[in-house]
Structure 1
Amino acid sequence: MFAYLQLLFLVDWLLIAVACFGAWRWGARQERHAAALVLAIFVGFILASLIRDKEFIRGVYLTLDGLLALGLLLLSLRYATRWLGVTVLLQGVQFSLHAYYLVAARRYDNFYILVNNLVSLGVLICLLTGVALAWRARRRAAK
């Protein structure tokens, strides 16, 4: 089980690295801002995982997801792109998931892990979609 978690952690870092590198290399301003926000929040999650108090960490996770949702909402209002709108909706699901588990005092189970990982993957896919759209728009403008 521990090897599986290490592999999952490595895949998370790899996906985030690819998405952030792509955003910085080929993306427009909104992709760069979103990538910086996603990377900062992911580092926040890594640092939060070092906290020993398991009840306190749940509140920290909720706060970090709320900050990511708020940051993506502000970016979405500023740049008004569809992919940012989808990321805001996905982060709303993520925030609701954390809030439900915190308020209901439920332990994190397989459903939580599945939804949490799928939403995170969805946010990264949206970011990569934004990068592809910005790259395509730049190529069309150059012709």
Structure 2
Amino acid sequence: MFAYQQLLFWINWLLLAAACLGAWRWGGRAERSGAALVLATFVAVVLARLLHGKELVQGVYLALDGLLALGLLMLALRHATRWLGVAVLLQAVQFSLHAYYLVEAKRYDAFYILVNNLVSLGVLVCLLAGVVMARRRSAPSAK
């Protein structure tokens, strides 16, 4: 694994922990639901790596990203926040990436790993932005 790939991997996991803890502590209903979806998807991806068969794993990744995109879309329709809109668009990129590699029967390469990690990082940054905005909304204004 290249150094930047390893760095992105650890940044993703640290942001996941920060985003989920922040969402549960300071976020609203949308942020908590988004954190639960993202956390469940990350856990499912880790479990999917235990499966055997390249095509099966690629199909599971595609399904998981589709489910996460659908879940975020449902939250965006219900809560209409900016961070959810951006997260849905990023998940669309992620879903398209998985679909392309599955349809073309391509092996995961450095480009795939980079885009996959950057999109995951972007979704987590969106979730953190949502937590910050929810915190600012709920904080009493100083007058």
SS in 1 for 2:139: helix
Q: Give the 3 Å change call, closer, same or farther, for CA 5–116 of structure 1 in structure 2.
A: closer
Per the TM alignment, residue 14 of structure 1 is displaced from its structure 2 partner at its CA by: 1.9
Partner of 2:81: 81
Given that 2:27 and 2:134 are in contact with CA atoms closer than 8 Å, whether structure 1 keeps it comes out as yes
Structure 2 residue runs without a partner (length 5+): none
CA deviation profile, 1:61-99 (whole Å, cap 9, x unmatched)? 000000000000000000001110000000000000000
Residue type of the alignment partner of 1:99: A
User: 1-side partners of 2:29 and 2:141: how far apart?
Assistant: 16
Partner of 2:133: 133
Root-mean-square deviation (CA, aligned residues, Å) is: 1.9
Partner of 2:35: 35
Per the TM alignment, residue 53 of structure 1 is displaced from its structure 2 partner at its CA by: 1.2
CA deviation profile, 1:26-51 (whole Å, cap 9, x unmatched)? 10110000000000010000110001
Residue type of the alignment partner of 1:135: R
Identity %: 71
Residue type of the alignment partner of 2:70: L
Q: Aligned runs of 1:10-89 on 2, under 5 Å?
A: 10-89=10-89
Per the TM alignment, residue 12 of structure 1 is displaced from its structure 2 partner at its CA by: 2.9
Give TM-score scaled by structure 1 length.
0.92
Structure 1 residue runs without a partner (length 5+): none
Give TM-score scaled by structure 2 length.
0.92
Greater relative contact order (CA < 8 Å, ≥ 6 in sequence)? 2
Partner of 2:122: 122
SS in 1 for 2:58: helix
Residue type of the alignment partner of 2:101: Y
User: 2-side partners of 1:116 and 1:82: how far apart?
Assistant: 22
